Structure 1
Amino acid sequence: MKSATFLSISAGLAAVATSMPAVAQTADAAPAAVADIIVTANKREQKLSDVGSTVAVLGGDALAARQINDLKDIAQAVPGLSFANSENGTPILTLRGVGFIESSLAAYPTVSVYVDEAPLPFGALAVHSAYDLERVEVLKGPQGTLFGQNSTGGAINFIAAKPTDELSAGGNLTYGRFNEANGEAFVSGPLSSTLKARVSGRVETMDGWQISNSRPNDRNGKVRNYMGRLLIDWEPTSGARFSLNVNGWKDKSDTEAPQYIGYVQQNPIANPIIPTVPFSPATPRAADWGGPVAGFVPFGDSDFWQASLRGDIDLADHVTLTSLTSYLQFNQRQGADRDGLPYTVNDLISDGSIRSFFQELRLSNGASRPFRWVVGGNYSNNKVDQVADFDYRYTSVNETVFTVFGYNLDRAHYSNYQKLTSFAFFANGEYDLASTLTFKAGARYTKAQSSATICNTDLTGDPKGTGPFLYDVVFGGAYGTFHAGDCFAGNDLGATINGVPPGAPGQYKDTLTEDNVSWMAGLDYKPRPGLLFYANVSRGYKAGSFPAVSATSFVQYRAVKQESVTAYEAGAKASLLDGALQVNAAGFYYDYLNKQLRSKVQSFFGIQDALVNVPKSSIKGFELEFTLRPTHGLTFANGFTWLDAKIDRFTGISGGGLPADFADTRMPFAPKYQLSSNLDYEFPISDRLKAFVGASANMRSDTIAVVGGDVNAANAIPSTFKLQGIDGYVLVDARAGIASADGRWRVSVFGKNIFNQYYWNNAITSSDAVARFAGMPATYGVSLSFRL
């Protein structure tokens, strides 16, 4: 049904695209060439049609017109890219089925994110970069050679709008549903003959859009975001160029509350209240959170700043030395409801910080040479500190332990400090074997080290609390009396860890050291201008890491080892109909080894959270996209991705707590079909005015949120649907307005999810509760853009 709905919408957009030129009856009704798109996917400027790999590009004007303001919106617009909310607020990105389902601050993503080539190494850092942009590039497939490890899925490059040669200024004001009020502005221009600058900023505010199921007058989802960026370009001589990018943001928005949709009792005795709570209605705005009864309200308070300096020095024989230096700081304090209940089954308040330094040096030669090369190295140093207080007083584990032993397992505190460093050396080259044939190859050696110091404890001082129960009952008093602050997780790894002998409680401390060689090789064949065939094989790695979990045993703290993806891809790019039609197609196969996954292991208290490796998986896929401009002012674009992403070998415990052999089961966040259609039509209505209309439709087929998510636990309530499934959906956006013929101002009305489709992007199990994160309901508003 979802596919049929999308296809009918797409067909309707196609019909509009083919009929509009005839209606217009203008002198411009002849086909218009699709404009060249310049990208930096290979760390040098190239036409997109000349890049022998799959790259999706969203231009700055398209981002503004379609109200694409964050990673969630970008994922909806790019087939193959999936976005999921996490219980800790860290975004989870999956590209072509390759993703890391982990929400801790220190979790390296598999889709790396950059702003003007400066890395944002952790997911939480990338949430507020989509403003005042020239374009966004989404590079699909392993990018280990040029972009390094932790890009086994791909890379997202935010290209900021650059300082201009002449004084200019502009902005955008938007007002919409839920009192959404956004403002964005920039000022750009020369400061001297060698110096120019650009200052930009954005403010986002919105009232709470979620409605409490138990307290109808209570709202959640308030937005308060503030962003700013300063760019300075200095060119002291014709052979030296320097670019400074200082940017930052403040986020005081509420964390999103999930919807309580299922109950899976984990321990023998249930809390008497929780099984009586009704499940959330299946509507977009319905949700619940602790509230006054539990003394918990979701909140967020995060800040970030980054400074990056790039220098390009032209040396002899068209060789350029490039230096890129970056330093960033991030601080976070937030309260997150993880169960969607008006009681505390699994709520937490967490504090965290990230400090990151990055330095890259590289040499490259001119882009016009028959042999084009780049060699270099880089170093990164990241320190991530995270602490959290858990409240799980209404869980079955607390009820069971209290009933049987008289102890309250209702609170816990964990601290997790990690230091992650790496250095790498890389080389990449392209050689024209003939005027129509290019061979390309590259390699990168990386050595990475991660160290972790982790402690779970009880700070309540309750003599019948979590810590005393573990020391008195689980360890039988063999290690004395528990004192507030003592680390209570037990060493069940069979060897002494950080001086903690097997069977004893204590602080976990360990170091993981790994190295690898990423590589790629391929051929580009260009039989004529506007036609490219390519074939590539590449391998990329994602570093291992330690989890941030509330644990009772050391087995939950163990690091996962590095994963690798070996990708085989072939494709074609063709410019047809005198440039009016651009068609791109690609087929690929991924051999995916040791996929890292947030799952479950067996511990003292049964099934608990941990990171695990899936030994072998495979992904087959096909992508097709085309852009058609049948006449000036009319553009129709369509993209399609088909995936067959499966686990080939893995025996373990699913995210839902089911032990099983998961061979030949599908992978999470990898819908089989993803389609997108976009139509934009602009036409004159007078000498000084023009009008425009546009519509976008995006379809995703169903998928799952955890390995084994197609099967519910035997005691799951209800059992009539997949509790950790994600249904397919179709979202439709629309826009229309008028603008000045010279482009100085533009007024539009817009709607997003105009049919109020109920959908969600993640489903999680928190103790006894299963909850999902719903997408935004229908929103609409008016927007004014202007340039001075």
Structure 2
Amino acid sequence: MNRTIFATRVSVLALMASAAPALAQTAPAAPQTPAPAANSADIIVTANKREQSVNSVGLTITAASSEELSNRGISGPADLAKLVPGFTFTQSIYSTPVFTLRGIGLYDATFGAAPSVSVYTDQIPRNVPVMSDGLDLDIERVEVLKGPQGTLFGQSSTGGAINYIVGKPTADFAAGFDASYERFNRAELSGFVSGPLADGIRARLAVKDVSGGAWQRSLSRPNDENGDQRKFMGRFTLDIQPTERLKIELMATGSRDRSDPLAPQYAGTTLNLYPDQAAAAASGNPYAQVDAQRYADLTTPTSAGYDASFLGRQSVVVGRLSSANPATAAGANALLGTPVSSRARDAEWTQGFLGRSHNSYYQLAGRADLDLSDTLKLTYIAALAKQKLDYNQDLDGTAAQVVDVPLFGDVRSFNQELRLSLDTDSFNGIVGASYDNLRTSQNNFFYLGDYSANADLISVTLNEFDSRMRSYGLFANGEYKVTPQLTVQGGIRYTKNKQEASYCYSDPTGAGAAVLFGAALNSVPITIAAGQCFPTTGDLLLGTAKSTLTPVNQSLTEDNISFRVGANYKFDGGALIYATVSQGYKAGIFSAIGASRANQYSPATQEKVIAYEGGFKAPFANGALQFNGAAFYYDYSNKQVRGRVQDTIFGLLEKMLNVPKSYVFGLEGELVARPAQGLRLSAGATYLKSKVKSDYSATADGFAVYNAAGYTGNFKGSELPYTPKFSANVDAQYSVPVSDSLEAFLGGGLTYQSKQNTTFHNAGLPADDFTIKGYALLDVRAGVSSSDGRWRASLYGRNITNKSYVTAVSTYLDTLIRYRGKPTVYGLSLSYKY
């Protein structure tokens, strides 16, 4: 641990210690023994924007306390599959997080891309996934709501919502810290202090620092590592109660992230493929591989996998192998000859290119609750946030400069919600209005010196993208107890979205652009100055293509109505059965795509999910056993995907697309048991069957649709991407007293996901390279704790079988890349609460 990091941590703890007397004001009350970790049988949730026992809510919810999250090694959304079957996390090519729940998700790399699974902190939205910093800071519990949540949580929650409940200021002084140190020199230290400042005013300060953890290593440079985390985050919360009926909560959250972006792993290139051994030998390519079928698919005009640019691009790169310029020859050798490894730690990137990010996030939020009467409450919530991003991403997985991308920009959001709630013995209702304003600025430089379509004409490009989205909503929700056992519910929301976007893809130096769009595209020569936009309109092959020169401006206005109706019946023994029908929408999307043709910029329009679901929640033996189950069917319209279209010069390029009709059918089960004193067992599983059920071969504006492997045709019958058929998790922990004041514990967890595809495919349109194999990860833990829960020390191991597994597969321009999860990690943790 270096001296700077150590000094930072000592300073943080000293600050907390100095704050303690001020917060205490009076002598601290006697510490209370913490309650046992809540489980999904008895935890309190806010799925309906009011506190209820999870067993009284007619929705499928997975919830866990902070202690359970810590036990399972869950520190953020990336780890939620350990808790939530049916949930998958991956990262896009630009490291932006992607959440998928029950097959509903959006794989996109745009900073401001609205997700299909929304994330909240105390019901305050984190509008887009890149605004995920600090979610694991001082958490009280997490709630994962499955199925469309548009009526109460707004748009962009067609798949579900994740709500993090953070620690609140306390009436008496409280403090605590958590520390851990693990393999790859990763250290984490967090702490909080909380208590009264004055009569009617309480405060809480929480901070966390994370450093180290470089687990990736370069294939060609053994001493070059990547993956260090350098994060610092904090939150200050102030609760003010000026009168008995008015409560105000103010919260400021901030984070700074200087971590290394994850490097992809090279998985090969089609540029090495030849039809037979003779052609391979004659090519002059020492990395040549024979694949007669794939070569025929790439080079035969009538084939579904035909790529008109393939032979020209292959010739350019192979020719560079014998270049008199050492740098050119080295780039071609790296592009064609980087080893393909299956080891988790192996990766490759351009030397000196990756390194520290310069990302930061802040959110200022406020909430006011005014009790107008004993049953009527007025609530106002507002939040202002900004995520700044500045980092580099190597998208080819090689030491060559095939596609190295420095990115910078920001996402700014402003949210407001005003609602009136009525709570009586027989009726609970909410009416309200919301407003969201989201602005995105994203700038991507592309360094393409070794790219096969470069042809030494243009090696640097810049894609500038700006967008704005304003969303207006009106909503109402109600629950009525027809009898003490039978409750009916209904909700509705009207949403209107207005979006604008501006695109300019340019050569910032101006070098080579006129040649590229004059000779190479067989069009009328156009002089394109530095910074002018070169996407074209017209027909490339007929010679009528013209560059736009100025930015391309787009707009989209949509509205929709989301609803939910349902009923639940609670038996005298505590069991609950429920059924719901809900309809949710996700707003249309503009994506930060670097296009060669202006019509690649057209947006994907809003998607819709109609969900039919029924389930039960059954506690037995006075809470010693809990069994939950659900079945659901999603009718999915206009699913948004970041797909591919064919370009004559550049090959496959990206475009936002809509899949007309698809569906997801699923079954879920959850079991929590305490069969003996000190023993807790839990298990959850999800089965999913997804399919494209309509013809899907071309976009509405005439583009033929290709999968990531480069095949076009009708994708009817394909499974949806990132939707494993089966996922499950199992966790067990046994605690036993070893003295009057000491307990020992031993536990472990297993997480499983079956194979999944990352692009559309069917029998006639293959994509074998884009399949993620199934995998199981085993974690263990053991330690001791005080009987009163004040302190806890443990040893843990994550992925102790050292399973090498893939989390994402993609292709960008010349190479196939994949991202791998971490290898075995073992460590020591210590926590203490005062």
* Common fold: TM-score over 0.5: yes
**Distance in 2 between residues matched to 1:139 and 1:371, nearest whole Å:** 22
Deviation at 1:710, TM superposition (A): 8.0
Stretch of structure 1 that moved more, 407-416 or 697-706: 407-416
Contact 1:55 1:139 in 2 (8 A): yes
Contact 2:523–2:546 under 8 Å retained in 1: no
Preserved contact between residue 57 and residue 137 of structure 1 (Cα < 8 Å): yes
Q: SS at the partner of 1:124? A: helix
Q: Which amino acid aligns with 1:311?
A: A
Taking a change above 3 Å as real, the CA distance of residues 543 and 467 of structure 1, as seen in their structure-2 partners, is farther
User: Which residue, out of 784, 787, 801, partners 1:755?
Assistant: 801
- Return the offset for 1:339: 1.6
Structure 2 residue 681 is matched with structure 1 residue 636: yes
1:340 aligns with one of 397, 407, 423: 397
Match of 2:449 among 386, 393, 399: 393
Residue equivalent to 2:174? 168
SS at match of 2:716: coil
Report whether the alignment pairs 1:267 with 2:310: yes
Q: What percent identity do the matched residue pairs reach?
A: 39
- What letter is aligned with 1:544? G
Maintained 8 Å contact 1:211/1:286: yes
SS at match of 1:528: coil
Correspondence 1:539 to 2:583: yes
Query: Equivalent residue for 2:205?
Result: 199
Tell me the CA shift for residue 502 of structure 1: 7.7
Answer yes or no: is the 8 Å Cα contact 1:681–1:692 preserved in 2.
Answer: yes
Distance 1:386 1:249 in 2: 20
Question: 1:709 deviation in Å?
Answer: 8.2
AA matched with 2:361: F
TM superposition shift of 1:466? 3.9
1:86 paired residue number: 92
Residue in 2 that maps onto 1:688: 741
Q: Which runs of no fewer than 5 residues in structure 1 stay unpaired?
A: 1-31, 495-499, 714-720
In the alignment, what sits opposite 2:6?
Answer: none
Q: Given residue 531 of structure 1, which amino acid in structure 2 is its aligned partner?
A: A
Say whether residues 1:283 and 2:346 are aligned partners: no
Q: Please say if 1:435 is aligned against 2:484.
A: yes
Distance 1:611 1:169 in 2: 49
**Equivalent of 2:729, from 676, 687, 692?**
676
- Asked whether the equivalents of residues 674 and 701 of structure 1 are also in contact (C-alpha less than 8 Å), the reply is yes
Q: Aligned residues, how many?
A: 731
Letter in 2 for 1:409: I
CA contact (8 A) 2:191 2:206 kept: yes
Structure 1 pair 199/503, CA: closer, same or farther in 2 (3 Å)?
closer
User: Quick check: 1:655–1:708 contact (8 Å CA) kept in 2?
Assistant: no
> Which residue of structure 1 lines up, in the alignment, with residue 429 of structure 2?
373
Quick one: distance in 2 between partners of 1:708 and 1:245? Answer: 47
**1:485-496 correspondence runs (5 A):** 485-492=531-538
Deviation at 1:329, TM superposition (A): 0.9
Provide, for residues 702-751 of structure 1, a one-character-per-residue CA deviation record: whole Å limited to 9, x for no partner: 001112288887xxxxxxx9211111000010100011111111110000
| Alignment counterpart, residue 701 of structure 1, candidates 737, 754, 775 | 754
Q: Counterpart of 1:233?
A: 239
Aligned partner of 1:653 in structure 2 is 706
Residue 507, structure 1, aligned to residue 551, structure 2:
yes
TM superposition shift of 1:776: 0.4
Indicate yes or no: 2:810 matched with 1:745: no
The aligned counterpart of 1:131 is 137
Output the CA distance in 1 between the equivalents of 2:82 and 2:429: 35
- How far residue 506 of structure 1 moved from its aligned partner, in angstroms, is 3.7
Superposition misfits of 4+ residues, deviation over 4 angstroms? 32-35, 500-505, 709-713
Q: Shift of the alpha carbon at 1:599?
A: 0.6
Q: Displacement, 1:354?
A: 1.1
Whether contact under 8 Å (2:251, 2:366) holds in the other structure is yes
Q: Aligned pair 1:48/2:54, yes or no?
A: yes
SS of the residue aligned with 1:660? coil
- SS of the aligned residue for 2:267 comes to strand
Q: 1:709 to 1:782 in 2, by over 3 A?
A: farther
TM-score by length of 1: 0.90
Matches within 5 A, 1:204-219: 204-219=210-225
Residue among 581, 586, 589 paired with 2:633: 589
Aligned to 1:119: 125
Q: Distance in 1 between matches of 2:402 and 2:335?
A: 12
Distance 1:34 1:329 in 2: 34
Say whether 1:308 aligns with 2:347.
no
The alignment partner of 1:282 has SS state of coil
CA distance, structure 2, for counterparts of residue 530 and residue 198 of structure 1: 37
Map of 1:666 onto structure 2? 719
Q: Unpaired segments of 5 or more residues in structure 2?
A: 1-37, 272-308, 319-331, 698-704
Corresponding residue number in structure 2 for 1:415? 464
Give the match's secondary structure for 2:788: coil
Deviation at 1:475, TM superposition (A): 6.6
What is residue 278 of structure 2 aligned with on the other side? none
Offset, 1:760:
1.1
- Structure 1 stretch 269-278 or stretch 449-458: which is displaced more? 269-278
CA offset digits 1:124-145 (Å, max 9, x no partner): 0014311211101111000010
SS for the counterpart of 1:670 is coil
2:772 match? 726
Alignment check: 8 A CA contact 1:289 1:298 kept = no
Separation (CA, whole Å) in 1 of partners of 2:360 and 2:188:
19
Shift of 1:260: 0.5
CA distance in 2, matches of 1:106, 1:642: 31
- SS of 2:724's equivalent in the other structure is coil
Distance 1:127 1:76, change over 3 A: farther
1:26 matched to which residue of 2?
none
The CA distance in 2 between the partners of 1:466 and 1:94, in whole Å, is: 40
SS, match of residue 469 in structure 1 = helix
The residue aligned with 2:823 is 777
State yes or no: 1:558 paired with 2:602. yes
Amino acid at match of 2:665: K
Distance apart, 1:267 and its partner CA: 2.6
Structure 1 residue 492 displacement after superposition: 4.6
Instruction: Name the SS of the counterpart of 1:61 in structure 2.
Output: helix
- CA 411–528 in structure 1, closer or farther in 2 if over 3 Å, else same: same
Report matched runs for 1:21-32 at 5 Å: none
* Cα deviation, residue 529, structure 1: 4.1
Q: Does 1:183 find its partner at 2:228? A: no
Do 2:401 and 2:448's aligned partners in 1 also have CA atoms closer than 8 Å? Answer: yes
Say whether the 8 Å CA contact 1:327–1:356 is kept in structure 2: yes
Give the C-alpha shift of residue 234 in structure 1: 1.0
Note if contact 2:137-2:234 (Cα within 8 Å) is conserved in structure 1: no
Kept in 2, the 8 Å contact 1:492–1:554? The answer is: no
Cα deviation, residue 493, structure 1? 9.7
Q: Residue 406 of structure 2 aligns with which residue?
A: 349
Question: Do 2:780 and 2:798's aligned partners in 1 also have CA atoms closer than 8 Å?
Answer: yes
From 421, 425, 432, the counterpart of 1:364: 421
Answer whether contact 2:169 2:239 (CA < 8 A) is retained. yes
In terms of mean alpha carbon deviation, does 748-757 or 502-511 score higher? 502-511
Check if 1:245 corresponds to 2:251. Answer: yes
Q: Aligned with 1:488: secondary structure?
A: strand
Distance 1:568 1:364, change over 3 A: same
Residues 164 and 504 from structure 1, CA distance in 2 versus in 1: closer, same or farther, beyond 3 angstroms? closer
1:568-607 to 2 correspondences below 5 Å: 568-605=612-649, 606-607=651-652
Residue 66 (structure 1) shift? 2.5
Residue 364 of structure 2 corresponds to residue 319 of structure 1? no
Deviation at 1:468, TM superposition (A): 4.2
Distance in 2 (CA, whole Å) between partners of 1:551 and 1:347 is 17
Q: Secondary structure at the match of 2:358?
A: strand
The worse-fitting range, judged by mean Cα deviation, of 42-51 and 125-134 is 125-134
Residues 408-436 of structure 1 show CA distances to partners (whole Å, capped at 9, x for unaligned) of 23221010000111100000001111121
Question: Is contact 1:33-1:579 (8 Å) kept?
Answer: no
The one-letter code of the counterpart of 2:523 is G
Worse overlay, 692-701 or 526-535: 526-535
Separation of aligned partners in 2, 1:360 and 1:492: 46
